[in-house]
Structure 1
């Protein structure tokens, strides 16, 4: 069978695998859902007019190899076969995660649970500005080694949670992997909304941890410093206007460690009239040459391989900086000098540590009082999905900071502050009267 025929066969298999989904969604390709109500165990989603374009969103390119998630979907029983109902439930959970993701902000950390049944998936919507990086780390807890499917999507500008109500499309697939542990990074080619989906294989379950941060692709190159310590920026005048400053100057006390901004190889350690003691490094990805100047001491050698955060040298004022306070001149070059500001700022924020009681993961729960707000993100800045009454029933599936991620019958989810959650198991969080 030639390459084109194989691709056509894969396409037909995917069409068959998604037939049930299309039958349902074509009947409701345009729907008007008004308001949001959480009553008892049910959640109704926010007001919007929406259209799911299943054909354009789910059809693969002819010559793209199926992702691990797609390959697993194709392996599941269909139709009237034994286990087909569980397969449909698994597929529905995967679609729900990208159609109705949560919005945790630019830094998120969770310890959560995927139950073996019913199938669940976690979708996180993140805004990533152009040139910034998504740092994603995933691990299984308690020694579990089952793989998680991790998929990244680009949300259309008019998507359901992205702006004005109107015609919307399912986010477009970008990349997918199966991971037991580890991390990967994604550099955004354009400012936009992206969706990360996590899901185990059908029938698998276990505790997992996830950390997602959005920020600069490189590490800030001086220990303990930040934006406030930058005293001169790219393009500033030098030598009475005869030249421009090709970097940023980061002022810190003499002897402060200078850190490798990215992984890569040291290409030169030298002493020059202008830069004083300098180190040149070639970024591992091969795109930039990185320049560290005015060092008091260089602590690396030619040819040395560095990881981001390794010590390169110590802050000083050698070279033509002898009359200025100690600082690092930091530069980046790619077919000429480029402004390094967006390569090192903003520093990716740290998500709050998980402090909620994790003994109740998987337990059913209720809220302690009327009107408790369900939010899309784990903070009081998260948009409000609705207000719960004391009859509202849910299952606690994750902890993020002081918040629980909860899932309702039907699969919809959100965040509740732990002080209002009453768990059905001993040792659960006790409510207070503060909101």
Structure 2
């Protein structure tokens, strides 16, 4: 009832001022516009607005480490202002892609903010390449990134978040892709005296070589090392095509992705090898850059069964012996701590074989899905005594009350407390040893 009353009040306050969410999102940063709208509405003095802002800030300093591509099923409770964030790395040349699938309430406005984590931990907010909250974010250098997800106030529901990466350039040979690269950036050359400053893709002589991006042909040449070459300048990058059998463009001409620049050959110092294209990318100062990530496509992510979402936001417990709580969803991530059998946890999200969990003390991490179960059945009975100390939730102070007595079902434990279920379904924390205040 409290949640419904707040929602009605929220709608009335906005409608009285002629304010709609669409108006709040009209220009500028959607998140800041929305927050400013809340702070200037009749709700500005209500705790729920402060709690919503506080949740967004807290998520920026309490992130979950993941690797791309990543997909998670998660549920947000409309009654509890909350936000979640994920920390990951990406390579120069990739494009980070963000997709949010709303599986319950499709009317909710969601805020997805991507930040570049700079030196010293400072966050720089990025704008998507395409308009709107979701889109593609080109990666200019190898960096760490933080993604924050938060629904509008008093809204939530079940969503599926997918964070992935895509190629930023088309491939220079038709019907081939990055899996056809045979010699990689950094491979030794001339007995180790130099390193390969590009990638080699083998193909039949005469195969068309295609422009990977829009640009201007800056040079068409023939030299001892690269043989017949074409260079195309495009913004901050210069693309280098070498060992061509023929050149079909002139310096100064404009090209678009897919335009033919020449054909595959083995000219220059490749005369003793099979025909192939040497492709290189150079940045400012003619610094060589690994082309692989400009072409690499993210593997397909497995579907997450929506039927398994029933335990999201419910209490779970460890069903095995001593298990590892990890920083991310995989055995390669750092171990944050150990959990014991019957330890309680809140299930926040579900990915492929892993659960994102939050412990009663508010610490979080990932646990292998097969090591946990929903805490909806009794482990044992316990008889409450008049001298027992209780907590209504983990963060509240302890108290005693004579009304709580008799036999109860123990659902699990954490630290010095058992979580018990009373006959009417009420859940309480009960101190195992006595008052700790």
| TM-score, normalised via structure 2 length | 0.59
Higher relative contact order (CA 8 A, sep 6+): 1
1:138 matched to 2:105? The reply is: no
Q: Tell me the SS of whatever aligns to 1:187.
A: coil
2:373 corresponds to: 422
RMSD between aligned residues: 4.7
1:86-128: per-residue Cα shift (whole Å, max 9, x none)? 2233222212211111111354333434443322222122346
Q: Tell me the SS of whatever aligns to 1:184.
A: strand
1:118 corresponds to: 80
1:184 matched to 2:132? The reply is: no
Q: Any unmatched runs of 5+ in structure 2? A: 1-26, 377-437
Residue 266 of structure 1, CA deviation: 5.9
Matches of 1:418 and 1:260, distance apart in 2: 46
Q: 1:103 to 1:323 in 2, by over 3 A?
A: same
Which of 344, 351, 369 is matched with 2:292 structurally?
Answer: 344
Residue 216 of structure 1, CA deviation: 9.4
Q: How many residues align?
A: 333
Matches of 1:112 and 1:311, distance apart in 2: 44
Q: 1:194 to 1:424 in 2, by over 3 A?
A: same
Matches of 1:282 and 1:300, distance apart in 2: 14
1:209 matched to 2:161? The reply is: yes
State which structure, 1 or 2, has the greater radius of gyration over its C-alpha atoms: 2
1:220-239: per-residue Cα shift (whole Å, max 9, x none)? 7664556982278699679x
| TM-score, normalised via structure 1 length | 0.59
Q: Tell me the SS of whatever aligns to 1:378.
A: coil
Residue 205 of structure 1, CA deviation: 2.4
Aligned 8 A contact 1:220 1:347 in 2: yes
Residue 251 of structure 1, CA deviation: 4.7
Which of 242, 247, 250 is matched with 1:293 structurally?
Answer: 242
Aligned 8 A contact 2:184 2:196 in 1: no
Aligned 8 A contact 1:108 1:352 in 2: no
Aligned 8 A contact 1:356 1:418 in 2: no
Residue 247 of structure 1, CA deviation: 4.4
2:117 corresponds to: 154
1:317 matched to 2:268? The reply is: no
Q: Any unmatched runs of 5+ in structure 1? A: 1-64, 160-170, 426-435
Q: Tell me the SS of whatever aligns to 1:76.
A: helix
Matches of 2:127 and 2:203, distance apart in 1: 45
Aligned 8 A contact 1:78 1:84 in 2: no
Q: 1:324 to 1:264 in 2, by over 3 A?
A: same
